[in-house]
Amino acid sequence: MSIIDNVKKIFGINKQIAIIPDSTESVNLMPQVEEKYDTPNETEETNNKYILNTKELPDWLTNEDVLRDEGVIFGLSDAKVDDKINIIKHYFAHEMADLENNVAYHTEKIGEINLSIEQYETQINALTEKIQKLEEKPFQIHQLPRTIAGFILALLMCIGNYFLIDDSLKYSFPDKHWVVASGVFLAGMFNLFNPKSLFHDQNSNFNWRQALEEIGMPIVAAGFVLAQVIDYQSISKSLALFFFISFVFLFAGKLLLGNLTVLKDDLAGWLDNRTLKKDKANNIELWSEKIADLKQNIDSQRVEKWKIIDTLQEPEAEIKKLTEKRDMLINIFESEFNLARNYRDKLSGQQIQDILNE
């Protein structure tokens, strides 16, 4: 058996191929294939030399045996393998264009849905954090009832002290006793206007002026009352009245002022607690309902997303199928081309011509 017969047997050349290229020239394409392609636009930038007419497919795209023969023809000639491969790729690119556009469109829709879901989840996390902070926010501790009671008692002590002074001065000042009593009472309560207290602020440093202001005025006011009542009362009653008025001046004023300050703080705390309780009752419920609505929106978006994913399965499967088909055809052609190209150097020009004439 001659070497030409061996090559024919190895490559299984089909006699349906009717092309006799000159062994000294490049084999570009079979005549029947060339008739099925349009001339490319000169202004179009493309690496392909041929544009496939999908209405009439060449035999080598539908018949693997013919494609193998094409690989042999190209391998035995000086033609470049890229020409045929580019045609195959162009055909399948044309076939997959609509499918890829469909996949790209639905993929973009999935991206938009994912972005929407992410925004919903961000809102849910923000609302959940606000609910958690509101639930963990403690109520302020206050003693408002006790403070109110202490303030009322201190006020009553001061009022009682005033009437006691007024009653004690009736004998000395029968016509204007209430005016004098008011002056004495205000003088005794002068320490009320001092922000510091000698008896309550243990860490404060008092000088003699501050001590005199804190103690001197109440003692002087009580001493004035003592001087007015000692003439018609016993000494024991007069001294008892003196000490009572003095201590009421010293402590009741500070107690009244202190309770007034505490009352303001406790009242503010009570109002804050009331507002906090209202917020916990209303806002938490409102935010929880909003979170439920957002989760429902997320579920709706996910349902729509899975519908799109189901829709994508068909074009993606078709693209995969076409891609595998394209790669298979390219591999078949390249395999036959490389095998023929390896044997070409072992054959003479006349032998190659005889093979192609078969």
pLDDT per position as a tens digit, 158-187 = 888 889 888 888 888 888 888 888 888 888
Q: Are residues 156 and 287 in the same domain?
A: yes
How far apart CA 1 and CA 115 sit, in angstroms, is 71
Q: Is residue 101 in a domain?
A: yes
Q: Are residues 101 and 217 in the same domain?
A: no
Q: Are residues 169 and 260 in the same domain?
A: yes
Q: Which two tokens stand for residue 218?
A: 């109440």
Per-residue model confidence (pLDDT) at position 125: 94
Within 8 A by CB and 6+ apart from 266, the residues are: 142, 143, 144, 147
pLDDT per position as a tens digit, 183-193 = 888 888 766 66
pLDDT per position as a tens digit, 206-215 = 566 666 767 7
Q: Are residues 87 and 40 in the same domain?
A: yes
Q: Is residue 327 in a domain?
A: yes
227: left (phi over 0), alpha (psi -120 to 50) or beta: alpha
**Minimum mean pLDDT among 103-107, 133-137, 339-343, 350-354: which range?**
350-354
Instruction: Give the torsion through C-alpha atoms of 8, 14, 18, 21, to 10 deg.
Output: -30
Backbone angles phi, psi at 51, to 5 degrees: -110, 125
pLDDT per position as a tens digit, 308-327 = 888 888 888 888 888 898 88
Residue-range definition of the domain harbouring residue 239 = 144-302
Q: Is residue 315 in a domain?
A: yes
| pLDDT band at residue 36 using 50, 70 and 90 as cut-offs | very low
Q: Is residue 2 in a domain?
A: no
Last residue of a domain, one of 257, 285, 302: 302
Q: How many domains does the chain have?
A: 2
Per-residue model confidence (pLDDT) at position 252: 76
Q: Is residue 229 in a domain?
A: yes
Per-residue model confidence (pLDDT) at position 86: 87
Q: Is residue 293 in a domain?
A: yes
Decide if pLDDT at 334 tops 50. Answer: yes
